[in-house]
Amino acid sequence: MAKRSKKTSKTGTSSDLRILIANDDGIRAPGLKVLERIARSISKDVWVVAPEFEQSGASRSLSLHDPLRIRRLSTRRFAVRGTPVDCVLMAVNHVLKDEKRPDLLLSGVNRGANMGEDVTYSGTVAAAMEGTIVGIPSIALSQAVVPGQSVKWATTEQLAPALIRRLLSAGWSKGTLININFPDVMAAQAGDPRVTVQGQRDTGDLVIDPRIDARGQPYYWIGYRRNLGTPYPATTDLGVVESGGISVTPLQLDLTHRATVRALKKSLT
C-alpha cells in the first residue's frame, strides 16, 4: 500500500505499484488504451475499471437511482455501467475488496484538455478526486486537441511515463490530486512540465448552440467560444498548454475560500 503521512503522499518503487486506471470516455476509448500502455511501462500490476459508455462531463456524479452493473472483460479489466466515480468505488469496494489496495490511480487519458473551470465538469478529474478521497494517490491526464483535428495521443504516451515517475518520487500533499494536461503539439515540440495554478476561461465561453432536427424540432448543443485575442496568464494551466507546455496542477479537495471565511466572520459575528 502507498506510504502516506499527514503532510505528503509517496509511493514505493514502481515495480511494486498496483495501478488502478479509470476514465470518463469509456472502456473503448483510445485514450484508455494509451493510458494502459503508459501504466504498464511503469508496473506490471495494472487494473482497469472504466465506464461501459462515455461519461464526459459527469463530474462527481453517483448512480443513486439506477443499479450498477459490471462486466469482466479479462482478468484485470472491467466495464461498469455507471459514472467515473462509480467505477472507482466499484474498483476499491468490490473488484479489489479482498485484494491489495491500489498504490496509484491514473485517470484518462482524456480526449481534450481539462483546465480552468473544466475541472469541475470533468469526469476524468472526478475519478482522480474520488481516488484521493479514498486515500489513493491520484493523477488525471488529458491531451489537448484542436476541434476538427486528430488527437496527438503519442505526445502523452511518450512524455507521461517519465513525468509520472518524477511525481511519484516527489510525492504530494494528502487531500490533493495532480491534474496533468499535455499540449496539442508533437512530443518533440512540447515544452517542459510546469507547475501551474488553475486558470479561468473568458467570461461567456460556455455557449448554447441551437439546432433544428429533420422533423423541425429544436435541439441544443453546449460548447465553448474562445476569445483568441486574450492570452491566458503564463502561470495558469490554460496559459502553459496554450503556449505548448505541459501543465501540472495540484488540485485540493477542500474548496473553502479562507480569506472570505475570515471576512465573513468579521461581518457576521
pLDDT band at 2 (very low <50, low <70, confident <90, very high): very low
The span from the first CA to the last CA of the chain, in angstroms, equals 45
The pLDDT tens digits of the residues spanning 126-148 come to: 999 999 999 999 999 999 999 88
Instruction: Give the residue extent of every domain in the chain.
Output: 3-200+232-268
Residue 93's CB is within 10 A of a number of other CB atoms, namely 10
pLDDT at 7 over 70: no
Lowest mean pLDDT across 52-56, 80-84, 215-219, 252-256: 52-56
What pairs with residue 212 in β-bridges?
Answer: 218
- Whether the pLDDT of residue 8 is over 90: the answer is no
**CATH code of the domain occupying 3-200+232-268:** 3.40.1210.10
Per-residue pLDDT tens for 221-243?
Answer: 987 776 666 789 999 999 999 99
DSSP state of 102: P
pTM: 0.90
Question: Once rounded to an integer, what is the mean pLDDT over residues 240-248?
Answer: 98
Whole-angstrom distance, CA of residue 82 vs CA of residue 90: 10
Measured distance CA(107)–CA(31) in Å, rounded: 10
Residue whose C-alpha cell reads 491526464 in the numeric block: 141
